[in-house]
Structure 1
Amino acid sequence: MTLTKLLGAEANAVLRPPFLPYWLGQSVSALGDRVTTVALPAVVLSLGGGASDLARLAAWSSGAQLALLLIGGVLVDRLPRRTILLASDGLRALLLAWAAFLLARGGASIPLLTGLAALLGACSAVFYPATASILPQLVQAPHLIAANALRNLSTQLSGVIGPALGGLLVALGGASLALGADALSFAAGALSLFLMRPRQAETRLQRRPPLLAELWEGFRVILASAWLWLTVALFSLVNVFVGGLNVVVLPLYAREVLGGTQNLGWLYAAQALGAVLAALALGRTRQLRRRGVVAYSAVLVQGVTVLLLGASHALPLALLALSLGGACVTVFGVLWEATLQERVPNEALGRVASVDMLGSIALLPLGFVLVGRAVTALGLSSSILVCGGVVALLALAGLCTRAVRQLE
């Protein structure tokens, strides 16, 4: 069965140039990116590093991304987005190839790998706003939902396949092989972007206002639309509890409720399966009415699935709850990205995407701490119920606003 038959008629309109080379290349580089999440920690451990070194690696990567995300959004609106994506993939290919070469020759060190993680995080701070805002130049507006569903589909599949592939490559040829394969994946992504020709020519003004003025203009665009600033604000809180659930609670749930940490892989796989199925369904969608109601209803159902997880002590019911939750996350994410791309002016889309992304991840460290303390104070099951209840209440708060209900 071909992908076109699997996705339906909408795929015929989307899976063609210029979107097709973009999607194929970014799918390959996303897979390689997931390989890095396994390979870099493996290198650190092979060099004698411990928990503090792994924490420092993650902190420098996420810290660089957070620090540069807003500036990355400004650059995305100042420069051609295809050029930014091409430069980002090309630079990451060179960095990873250099690291693989040093590692193969025995010249790698933990400080060098920490610096590499920071540079990769800095590239991500520019890459993600660019890839979120380039789709309107690749497909026509009626096909944005399907295009975002395809992008989400490849992301979810890479999340399932990439870590396993990374572990296999490390086992077969060491971390240098894994990093080298990742470098090739980014090179493939860069090649696909080089071959891609956007449907719309990009034009940029020769003279631009100061960087801070442009950054503030992006915030003004957000504040001018109630549905936009409300969603960014609400989801900075939703992600606190969803992120805490995934990172802190699920490993404990697998061990203490289901009887072994070996079940954690099944829990994460169930989330990914639900997300993939939802992406396949949305890939068949051309237009969707009452988009705000549908998106926030998905978040409400997600909160209910977390409540179901908290009340469950059996693996099959937990897998069902998490697969439904994964589907709900994808429904909201695809509809939200398509709405941004349709309604935000193209010249401000990079800045809005960067602010949206910053709002999504800025409070995650706080969420890990809060949920961890909740587990200590309330117990595991009660903490899961709190997470689900808060997510459901935040979704209801959004549904109670006219701006969300009127969002078509």
Structure 2
Amino acid sequence: MSTTTGFWQSRGYVSWFTADTAVAVGSALRGFVVPLIAFSVSHSLSTAGWLSTLSIALQQVCGLFGGTIVDRHPRKPLIIGNAVIQMLLWASVSLLMVIGRLNTLILFGVVAVSACTTSLIGQATDAALRSIISMQNYAKARSINEGRDATINMAGSPIGGILYGIQPWLPFVCSAVVYAIAGGSAARLHLHERTGIVTTRGEDTVGVISTGTRKAGRSSFLDDFLLGWKWSFHSQRIPLIIAAASLMNFGLSGIQYTIQLHLINIGTQPFRIGLMDTGVCVGMLVGSVLANRLSDKVHVGRTMCVAFIMAVAFVIPMLLDSSYWVIFFSYAFMALPFPMVNSMLLGFVFSKTEEHMQGRVAAVISAPAQVLSMFCSGMAGSLLPVSGFTATAAIFFVAMTVSSLITLFTAAIKTIPQSSQWPSAQL
């Protein structure tokens, strides 16, 4: 497929996009409501908070192994399996709510199973994209996903709140319905996957044994798991990208928690606190539009230098003035470059990664960012009472600055060409 319209005309891409969008909608609809339901059944803010902690912790632990599972098995059944399991889980929650039998233990169990399922096999949807989209169109396809996700995140919480106001169980029914749509769309996928064990390894390619001969000499789960890490570090470029992206993600997450906790601490109205997230989603939506227009036209390395500098520069106003509207606009503009980073920088990595390695490489890239981000909330909460907003935000600003310096002074990132030259570029 040589043009952007080519993959929109492909039934495979439309089915994939429908399934992936339905999963995102299902997650957004219930994400806002689960803490409210947890509080309503437990009458405890602590319980509601620990429920979110449990979900995040399970996702991070299971996510380390999910990439290997996704790469060792055909992805279409995994996509369908994730959709079916999620549909049954949240349909059960809605039914139990209707008959008045939902309790804290059951809700914890459902959230735990849902989090583990998402992390263990839910990555199959993203991993399958490389089997559908050509290398040249991959960055543009990711930019479309960024815009879609920003729109869903912007609308998901308000819609979930409206549905919750009508009937508390209604968001879960709607979530179950869209998961059913995801499963149905995934059933129409025709993926030409290569799932095999590794026999040879070069700079950018990995040989595979054909499916027919694979079973006799199948490698162990541990070997495949470790191979994902070894392959990701076989060149200098990916570790540097991981370092830059992880530090930037740590800084952004830290500033996000610092803003939220600061506004809560000074007694800001909940609506105005929530408006911050709306501003970020608008910034990301604008960024995704720019990414879509620029992804196949610009030199990726130089664009990444500009994007990282922009993210750092937009933090400076809130360090100089911590009034609400300065923070609001600074925070919103700070999010604008990240769809370009995700579609171009990470798009280059995944477009150059062999199809049967997509899940493991995704796990390797996300693991450092997840580990660092786990401490952001605690750091912000501990530092704010002692140091205040400006000093706390400045600490995370330093991490973002270091990330930008890695990008600016690293040839491995600066030399990534535009997408039309990716087939001949080395990873």
Q: Does TM, normalized by the shorter one, top 0.5?
A: yes
Whether 1:95 aligns to 2:89 is: yes
- Correspondence list, 1:342-353, <5 A: 342-353=351-362
Whether 1:224 aligns to 2:234 is: yes
Q: 2:142 aligns with which of 135, 140, 148?
A: 148
8 Å CA contact 1:295–1:336 kept in 2: the answer is yes
Q: CA deviation at 1:147?
A: 0.7
Q: CA deviation at 1:90?
A: 1.3
Whether 1:236 aligns to 2:249 is: no
- Correspondence list, 1:35-114, <5 A: 35-114=29-108
Distance 2:121 2:304 in 1: 26
Distance 2:295 2:391 in 1: 41
Partner amino acid for 2:181?
A
Whether 1:215 aligns to 2:225 is: yes
Q: CA deviation at 1:296?
A: 4.1
Residue in structure 1 matched with residue 343 of structure 2 by the alignment: 334
8 Å CA contact 2:302–2:414 kept in 1: the answer is yes
Count of aligned pairs: 397
Residue in structure 1 matched with residue 170 of structure 2 by the alignment: 177
Q: Over residues 360-407 of structure 1, what are the superposed CA-to-partner deviations in whole Å (9 max), with x where a residue is unaligned?
A: 212222122222233223211222233223302221123212211222
Partner amino acid for 1:345?
E
Which one is further off, 345-354 or 309-318? 309-318
Distance 2:322 2:50 in 1: 35
Residue in structure 2 matched with residue 324 of structure 1 by the alignment: 333
8 Å CA contact 1:307–1:384 kept in 2: the answer is no
Residue in structure 2 matched with residue 300 of structure 1 by the alignment: 309
Distance 1:251 1:222 in 2: 36
Whether 1:402 aligns to 2:411 is: yes
Q: CA deviation at 1:158?
A: 1.1
Residue in structure 2 matched with residue 187 of structure 1 by the alignment: 180
Partner amino acid for 1:144?
Y
Distance 2:70 2:151 in 1: 27
Q: 2:289 aligns with which of 280, 293, 297?
A: 280
Distance 2:385 2:261 in 1: 14
Residue 362 of structure 1 aligns to a residue whose secondary structure is: helix
Structure 2 CA distance for partners of 1:378 and 1:314, relative to 1, 3 Å: closer
Distance 2:183 2:413 in 1: 38
Distance 1:254 1:272 in 2: 20
- Correspondence list, 1:4-15, <5 A: 11-15=4-8
Partner amino acid for 2:400?
V
Residue in structure 1 matched with residue 421 of structure 2 by the alignment: none
Structure 2 CA distance for partners of 1:186 and 1:129, relative to 1, 3 Å: same
Partner amino acid for 1:238?
M
Whether 1:355 aligns to 2:383 is: no
Q: CA deviation at 1:171?
A: 0.6
Residue in structure 1 matched with residue 373 of structure 2 by the alignment: 364
Distance 1:171 1:10 in 2: 45
Show structure 2 runs of 5+ residues with no match: 197-210, 418-427
Residue 156 of structure 1 aligns to a residue whose secondary structure is: helix
Distance 2:254 2:137 in 1: 34
Distance 2:256 2:4 in 1: 32
Residue 314 of structure 2 aligns to a residue whose secondary structure is: helix
Q: Name the % identity.
A: 16
Which one is further off, 317-326 or 88-97? 317-326
Q: Over residues 323-359 of structure 1, what are the superposed CA-to-partner deviations in whole Å (9 max), with x where a residue is unaligned?
A: 3211112111121331122222222121010121222
Q: CA deviation at 1:282?
A: 2.0
Residue in structure 1 matched with residue 385 of structure 2 by the alignment: 376
Distance 1:250 1:214 in 2: 40
Partner amino acid for 1:137?
S
Residue 18 of structure 1 aligns to a residue whose secondary structure is: helix
Structure 2 CA distance for partners of 1:256 and 1:59, relative to 1, 3 Å: closer
Distance 1:224 1:201 in 2: 23
Residue 416 of structure 2 aligns to a residue whose secondary structure is: coil
8 Å CA contact 2:193–2:356 kept in 1: the answer is no
8 Å CA contact 2:250–2:399 kept in 1: the answer is no
Partner amino acid for 1:184?
V
8 Å CA contact 2:140–2:296 kept in 1: the answer is no
Q: CA deviation at 1:36?
A: 1.2
Distance 2:305 2:75 in 1: 30
Distance 1:397 1:284 in 2: 26
8 Å CA contact 2:24–2:149 kept in 1: the answer is yes
Partner amino acid for 1:62?
I
Partner amino acid for 1:145?
A
8 Å CA contact 1:240–1:368 kept in 2: the answer is no
Structure 2 CA distance for partners of 1:385 and 1:203, relative to 1, 3 Å: closer
Distance 1:223 1:201 in 2: 24
8 Å CA contact 2:20–2:182 kept in 1: the answer is yes
